[in-house]
């Protein structure tokens, strides 16, 4: 049985409430309810509560872009997994390359976030990926393996885990990974998932591609055997583009 594709849009630090409502209206108007794809939008934290309510009863879920691992306390500016859950979140992105590079988030810190989020009942999109210098040095698989080993372990609930491969060199740079490059890393990730969680988990776990996915390259990427959807950046801020990517994911499994 084919894995059900999963497409999530990471809005990053974009959209006011008015802009976000217009974007969501466009997505809902263009999105067919019959597509066999799981869909999530991950808006800024200020929009989580209103959108957690607005998508209630639809096929679209809401995810957060960040989380803290403590349930409460003196952590100014942070949001706990329980707070996200109460706001209506189903998903949370952890380990995004921008959090790693700009905010210094490393393995142990990210592992605590994953454990806390899964314990609260959130589904986790865990990001891995290499920089341009690491790819040019042929270190891609070593980097991805290290990032997974630092955070994931067999005692976690893999059924609520998605891995997103985001080649950092292909995010917002105009450079794109070819389907062959994406498939090579995705197959490696699936093998690594098997070594951590077992063969059944490796067969079922979804691996998203997250490096400048656009309507023009989505179909080729989604056709790869181990690409199970996308973590979309800039293109998710245009309703028609985001829905086009979702449609490409559905077509990849005949849905």
Domain ranges of the chain: 6-252
Q: Which of 96, 98, 123, 130 is catalytic?
A: 96
Name which of 43-57, 87-101, 137-151, 213-227 the model is least confident about: 43-57
Q: Which of 98, 130, 166, 186 is catalytic?
A: 166
3-class DSSP state of 229:
strand
Our answer to whether residue 96 is catalytic in this structure is yes
CA 222 to chain centre: 15
Average confidence score pLDDT of the chain: 95
Our answer to whether residue 14 is catalytic in this structure is no
Q: Which long-range contacts (CB under 8 A, 24 or more apart) does 233-236 make?
A: 233/10, 233/12, 233/171, 233/172, 234/172, 236/9, 236/10, 236/11, 236/41
Answer whether residue 1 shows pLDDT above 90.
no
pTM of this prediction exceeds 0.75 = yes
Average pLDDT over residues 220-228: 97
Q: What pLDDT digit, counting tens, does each position of 110-137 carry?
A: 999 999 999 999 999 999 999 999 999 9
pLDDT of residue 255: 67
pLDDT of residue 116: 98
CATH topology of domain 6-252: TIM Barrel (3.20.20)
Q: What pLDDT digit, counting tens, does each position of 157-187 carry?
A: 999 999 999 999 887 666 778 999 999 999 9
Q: What percent of the chain has pLDDT over 70?
A: 98
């Amino acid at each position: 049985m084919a894995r059900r594709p999963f497409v999530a849009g990471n809005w990053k630090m974009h959209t006011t409430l008015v802009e976000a409502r217009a974007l969501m209206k466009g997505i809902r108007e263009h999105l067919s309810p019959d597509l066999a794809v799981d869909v999530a939008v991950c808006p800024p934290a200020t929009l989580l509560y209103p959108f957690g309510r607005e998508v209630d009863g639809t096929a679209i879920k809401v995810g957060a872009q960040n989380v803290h691992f403590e349930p409460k306390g003196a952590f100014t500016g942070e949001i706990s997994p329980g707070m996200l859950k109460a706001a209506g979140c189903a998903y949370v992105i952890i380990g995004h390359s921008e959090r790693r590079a700009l905010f210094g988030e490393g393995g142990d810190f990210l592992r605590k976030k994953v454990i806390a989020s899964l314990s609260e009942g959130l589904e986790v999109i865990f990001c891995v990926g290499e920089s341009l210098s690491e790819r040019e040095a042929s270190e891609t698989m070593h980097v991805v393996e290290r990032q997974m080993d630092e955070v994931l372990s067999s005692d976690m609930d893999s059924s609520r885990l998605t891995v997103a491969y985001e080649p950092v060199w292909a995010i917002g740079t105009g450079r794109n990974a070819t389907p062959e490059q994406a498939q090579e890393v995705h197959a490696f990730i699936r093998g690594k998932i098997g070594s951590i969680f077992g063969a059944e988990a490796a067969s079922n776990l979804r691996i998203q591609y997250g490096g400048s996915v656009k309507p023009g390259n989505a179909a080729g990427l989604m056709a790869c055997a181990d690409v199970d959807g996308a973590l979309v950046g800039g293109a998710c801020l245009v309703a028609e583009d985001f829905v086009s990517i979702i449609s490409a994911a559905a077509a990849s499994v005949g849905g």
